Amino acid sequence: MENPKIRIFIADVRSLSKPNRLGAAMKAVSTERQKKAERLKAPAAKALSVGAEILLKKALAQSYDIDGPLVIETGASGKPWFADYPEICFNLSHSGDYVVCGLGSRPVGVDIQKMAQPKLRLAKRFFAPSETDWLIALPQEKQKQGFYDLWALKEAYMKYTGKGFNLPLHTFAIDCHQEVAINPETATISEGQKMPVVFKNYPELEGYVIWSVTDTVDFQECLEWVTL
């Protein structure tokens, strides 16, 4: 069942927010996911929630020929894992109109963010001081991209570790080595010392940033689009 590369799947959930599609989609996911989606008010938010699990199921079928109900447990820090397939690692994220799924044989974190105006006050409050200094020093026209790249990469790393927000944003730092953009080939992540991780940026979705983090394996080169 070994897969040599981490695969990143993506899907547009806008069609699921239509009343006739949303009802059917709710029935296609686990009871736990249904309850989670039912607590959300907006159809678009419900579509993102159920769309994430539907994408996960389709990714599993495509990658490992696994079909049928999934038993998902959560670790002490809340990171989900497959009870029946503990050797398969996954991670989910959603923002705007899209859901993404990272899947492979090694721990993976993935994060997607829809870009808006950069919130530098949040950077000053939550980011490591060196990251905030880098961001503020950027030309103004590059600060939005820089802010969201930092935010998504940091969240992807937190999810990769399995700690999530139990690992505070300011306790680790991304070192861009004074470049005006985060370069996956040269940037590093440190928690007191340099961490042995691999990360990848998927810049092809206009208006969004997508970053993924893993350790000893590499990523598929491109996003893999799935129709829900």
pTM: 0.94
State the total domains in the chain.
2
Same domain, 136 and 155: yes
pLDDT over 70 at 2, yes or no:
no
C-alpha–C-alpha distance, residues 95 and 103, integer Å? 18
Residue 219, domain member (yes or no): no
Average pLDDT over residues 46-62: 97
C-alpha–C-alpha distance, residues 200 and 198, integer Å? 7
C-alpha–C-alpha distance, residues 144 and 170, integer Å? 19
79, 53, 91, 36: CA torsion to nearest 10 = -40
pLDDT over 70 at 220, yes or no:
yes
- The pLDDT tens digits for 12-53 are 999 999 988 999 999 999 999 999 999 999 999 999 999 999
Structure tokens at 52: 């994430």
Same domain, 10 and 106: yes
- CATH number, position 92: 3.90.470.20
- CATH number, position 185: 3.90.470
Residue 126, domain member (yes or no): yes
Residue 23, domain member (yes or no): yes
Domain with 95 in it = 5-110
Hey, is 91 helix, strand or coil? Answer: strand
Average pLDDT over residues 121-147: 94
C-alpha–C-alpha distance, residues 127 and 227, integer Å? 36
- The pLDDT tens digits for 181-207 are 999 988 999 998 999 999 999 999 999
Residue 217: the pLDDT is 85
Same domain, 14 and 99: yes
Same domain, 129 and 71: no
Residue 215, domain member (yes or no): no
86, 60, 17, 97: CA torsion to nearest 10 = 90
**Which is nearest to 211 in space by CA: 113, 130, 97, 142?**
113
Same domain, 95 and 117: no
Same domain, 97 and 127: no
